[in-house]
Structure 1
Amino acid sequence: MHNIKRFFIFGEEWLYYKVYCGTYSADRALRGEIKILVAELLERKLIDHWFFIRYNDPDPHLRLRFHLIDTAVLQKVIQAINFHFNTLLLSNTIYEVSIAVYHRETERYGENTIAEAEQLFYHNSQRILDFICTVSLEHDETARLFASLHMIAEVLNQFEVPLTSSHEFVQNMFLEHKSQYNIERTQKRKMSDIYLMHKKDIILLLTEGKDPIYLAGLHELVKCKAEEIKTIKIILQKQEQEQNVAILELIASFIHMNINRMFRTKQREYEFLCYDIMNRYYQHAINKK
């Protein structure tokens, strides 16, 4: 049996805040005060990791979790958070903040790998935060789509999923999403058009790591870093010893959360589009072999 702590109340090692704001204001908050806040907390060694997700319940908000180095630094962390959240409130970027109990999703991510999953959430949150601070408004939607495709390929690659298995995985995920939507013919055509329009750039990015001219630096910005790869290796080792959750289910959950962070709205629709494109891409890659 694993002695895993399943929830954290305020004052324990995980702090959990809900920050209510509009969907576009969320990006302004992330690019501004939240980026400054997490950089400060990490630099002062008050936290060692953090992560965010976008959520509606039903009002849109950011869910922020901060992992304290030690509960002895709680007051310092609260003071820093209050300062930056006050700035966001005064500027009307956000309008409400609440504190909640953090319930870990051990059933979804595995009791023996939940800590590593949280580490991956941290690395992905950092990457996406850097990304949204860099992407130009002119190519915003395309850049987010390309970055998401790159991250799907990266996750499958780092988890050592072979090409044919990767294709089978994205195909199954595409069909699963398709069954949840009543896709009209015009929407199917639109999805196909998006792939055909960007096919050359997608293939160059995913096979050779070459950025489209209008998205220079994207590959370097969103690729897995050394610490992230190290965490994935630990998950794979633990999975060999004791598999609480099937590895492809874990991968699907990580991809789902990556896309949630990347897009401001319609995340499920974008996830469906990403799996459609990756299904076409992997079929192309297999045909080329």
Structure 2
Amino acid sequence: MWSKKFNKMVIPRLTTAHNFEQGMNIYKFLADFQFQNNRLDLSWNWGIMKEQRRLPRISYKNIILSRAQWRIQKIAKYPSNPQAFIKNIQAELAIPAMVIISSGDNELLINLDNPFCIEIILDHMCKRETILTEYILNDYSSIARDKDGHIFANEIIIPIESQHETFTNESAPQDNNLKRCFPLGSEWLYAKIYCGLHFADTLLKEVFPIIVETISQQNVLKKWFFIRYNDPSPHIRFRVELSDPSQYYFVISTLNTLLEQFIKDGQISTLSFDTYTREIERYTPFCMELSEELFYQQSETVLKVIHQSTSINDRWRLAFENIESLLEAAKFTLIEKRDFCLQMNTLYQQEFDNNKNLWIHLNNKFKEKKDWFDKPLDNLEESKKKLNALQYSIFNTLQSHNEQDEFKSARTSLLSSYVHMFINRLFMSDQRLHELAVYHFMVGYYKMQIGKQKERMNPINYRSPIFAKS
């Protein structure tokens, strides 16, 4: 790819964690194009089919590109008849007796005819979704043998050197003064709490306020935020910035103490800790720390809504208010607000295959909810003030560090990320569907406002439609 304007090669790079597979064709092309001339990767990628319960072996001539794989859902409780339960799953998915249970790059060979192995797999299934992979050494004789002809099950790693020029995926450092990675024991603590979707809301409502208050009482809490995640199974990602890193293990102890009973009861399957790596390219070096502060205030606001109200309607209203306040802070005109929401709505509609029935359903829902736009949520005035002040500060900072064209592009990218993360925190599940719905409703709302504006300017000749197809 070549730029006529700059007479230089263009090497596209996607600098966010966004899933481009279901985006617009030009977006998918550019995102795929970034892998041209990269380091050779011989792994097989199932793409959108990876969630299928049964995936066959993929071979090319005498090379196995991908072993057969079976995906088994997490179970609510240990079955009363373990052997019969496993036999039913084997029959349903055609799973052989000898298989490998996988977790990341760790593999364990198990025999589903063995009661002890059945215990192992059922214990795993009670905690999380289970991935089984075929065991191929039963079918193929290894070339590695001893002097008596006994076969060894071996793995050989064969290095391949490419003669072609390769490009790295690593981004050029943009700000050497901004720290990127925070390992265990540093000023940022990063915990992953694996639990069900509904119980996650219970934790956020009943336990997280206690966790935050306990840490705050030690005068070491600078900020914190959370996101909901679903890889490989549902969990809350909890990040805490400490003013005194020596109190790191006090925070771990606090989490262990307050979550211990839920772990014993099986409501939390795993509590783990990891390195926090900032997405500096996504949020820009100038706005990274401000973005973390925004996530802190967003998380505090969401906790208040979850604690104060059980109504899903309040979450919808807060989502509408949040988008409007973000677009105001970004200094968007009314037309620009509509166009931004329309652009995002179109992207999400493509992700959901432009489902006509869904579109009709959303239109009907908008007619029900359009009065909400003029009814702000009560009891959140202080939180909204903090959010608004931060949002204005972020976009003013962004503008001061960029030329006008660069600012507009960076502004749109930040807006979509901020909305995405807020919806993620606000709704219990199906966040991408909720994001589609929120953008759809905002398009309708801004169309109404534009219509009213035109009608005020020319009340005789202009008739404003209440809602028109986007």
Q: When the two structures are superposed, what TM-score results if normalisation uses the length of structure 2?
A: 0.56
In the TM superposition, 1:29-40 aligns within 5 A as 29-40=203-214
Question: What is the deviation of 1:66?
Answer: 0.5
Alignment of 1:251-262 (within 5 A): 251-262=415-426
How far the C-alpha of 1:234 sits from its partner, in A, is 2.8
Q: Which residue of 1 aligns with 2:150?
A: none
Q: Give the count of matched residue pairs.
A: 274
Q: Deviations over 1:197-254 (max 9, x none)?
A: 122x22323xxx3xxxxxxxx2443775333333223322321221387112101100
Question: Equivalent residue for 1:274?
Answer: 438
List per-residue Cα deviations over 1:35-83 (Å, max 9, x = no partner): 2101221243221110000001121000000000121222322222221
Deviation digits for residues 82-139 of structure 1, max 9, x if unmatched? 2112143244431211111111111111111110000000000000011011112xxx
Show the counterpart of 1:25.
Answer: 199
1:99-248 to 2 correspondence within 5 Å? 99-136=273-310, 140-199=311-370, 201-205=371-375, 209=376, 218-221=377-380, 224-243=383-402, 246-248=410-412
Q: Residues 249, 133 of structure 1: CA spacing in aligned structure 2 closer, same or farther, 3 A cutoff?
A: same
Match of 2:237 in 1: 63
| 8 Å contact kept, 1:37–1:80 | yes
Aligned-pair RMSD on alpha carbons? 1.8
Structure with the greater relative contact order (CA < 8 A, sep ≥ 6): 1 or 2?
1
Report which stretch shifted further, 77-86 or 265-274. Answer: 77-86
Which of 248, 252, 260 aligns to 1:86? It is: 260
The ranges of structure 1 where at least 4 consecutive aligned residues each deviate by more than 6 angstroms after the TM superposition are none
142-151 or 61-70, which deviates more = 142-151
User: Any gaps of 5 or more consecutive residues in structure 1?
Assistant: 210-217
Residue deviations 1:163-205 (CA, integer Å, cap 9, x gap) = 2211111111111111222133221111111001122x22323
Q: Is the 8 A contact 2:228 2:234 kept in 1?
A: yes
Q: Does the CA contact (< 8 Å) of 2:349 and 2:355 recur in 1?
A: no
The one of 11, 17, 42 aligned to 2:185: 11
Distance 2:381 2:442 in 1: 17
Structure number with the higher helix fraction is 1
- Structure 2's unaligned 5+ residue stretches are 1-173, 454-470
* Contact 1:154–1:224 under 8 Å retained in 2: no
CA contact (8 A) 1:16 1:102 kept: yes
Partner SS state of residue 184, structure 2 = coil
Maintained 8 Å contact 1:159/1:236: yes
* Partner secondary structure for residue 235 of structure 1: helix
Q: Which residue of structure 2 lines up, in the alignment, with residue 214 of structure 1?
A: none
Counterpart AA for 1:85: L
Taking a change above 3 Å as real, the CA distance of residues 108 and 219 of structure 1, as seen in their structure-2 partners, is farther
Instruction: Name the SS for the 1:229 alignment partner.
Output: helix
Give the conservation status (yes or no) of the 8 Å contact 1:150–1:219. Answer: no
Distance in 2, Cα, partners of 1:99 & 1:167 = 41
Distance 1:236 1:41 in 2: 31
Distance 1:23 1:222 in 2: 29
Distance 1:198 1:230, change over 3 A: closer
The letter of the residue matching 1:258 is F
The TM-score normalised by the length of structure 1 is 0.89
Partner residue, 1:74: 248
**In the aligned structure 1, how far is the partner of 2:290 from the partner of 2:216?**
18
Change in 2 beyond 3 A, CA 1:14/1:241? same
In structure 2, distance between residues paired with 1:220 and 1:152: 19
Structure with bigger gyration radius = 2
Does structure 1 conserve the Cα–Cα contact (< 8 Å) formed by 2:189 and 2:248?
no
